[in-house]
Amino acid sequence: KAGVTQTPRYLIKTRGQQVTLSCSPISGHRSVSWYQQTPGQGLQFLFEYFSETQRNKGNFPGRFSGRQFSNSRSEMNVSTLELGDSALYLCASSFVPGQGAVQETQYFGPGTRLLVL
């Protein structure tokens, strides 16, 4: 079974631009979570989507948004990029037996490394 894939793997943007990152979960997984990893703050939870609905959200400004499509693929968008948005963005997918059920182990992708200049 193919793992979680993220595209692109590397990205360079300038301040003020916006960026869209993509995540394809493991086949059959309907939950997708996004995390930001920086040397200073470590791994921080951004948000989680299940069945095209945002189910959980971390403490990030509204510039960070996401969505999930009917095939469970997910995208996250960061608008008006700031230097501090430079980070590794990780996507994780998991199987959820049903609505309201607790998800199982999360499987992470390799991440997209974003550099904002």
Partner 1 sequence: DAKTTQPNSMESNEEEPVHLPCNHSTISGTDYIHWYRQLPSQGPEYVIHGLTSNVNNRMASLAIAEDRKSSTLILHRATLRDAAVYYCILRDVRDDKIIFGKGTRLHILP
Residues that bind partner 1 (CB under 8 A): 4, 31, 33, 35, 42-45, 48, 50, 55-56, 58, 90, 92, 102-103, 105-111
Give the nearer residue to partner 1 in terms of CB position, either 82 or 104.
Answer: 104
Give the nearer residue to partner 1 in terms of CB position, either 16 or 51.
Answer: 51
CB 14 within 8 A of CB 82: no
CB of 59 to partner 1, least distance (A): 11
Check residue 40 and report its DSSP letter.
T
Give the nearer residue to partner 1 in terms of CB position, either 17 or 68.
Answer: 68
Residue 59 CA to residue 35 CA, distance in Å, equals 11
∠ Cα 108 111 113 (to 5°): 160
Give the nearer residue to partner 1 in terms of CB position, either 15 or 97.
Answer: 97
CB of 71 to partner 1, least distance (A): 20
Residue 9 CA to residue 115 CA, distance in Å, equals 11
CB of 107 to partner 1, least distance (A): 7
Residue 71 CA to residue 69 CA, distance in Å, equals 5
CB of 75 to partner 1, least distance (A): 17
Residue 17 CA to residue 11 CA, distance in Å, equals 12
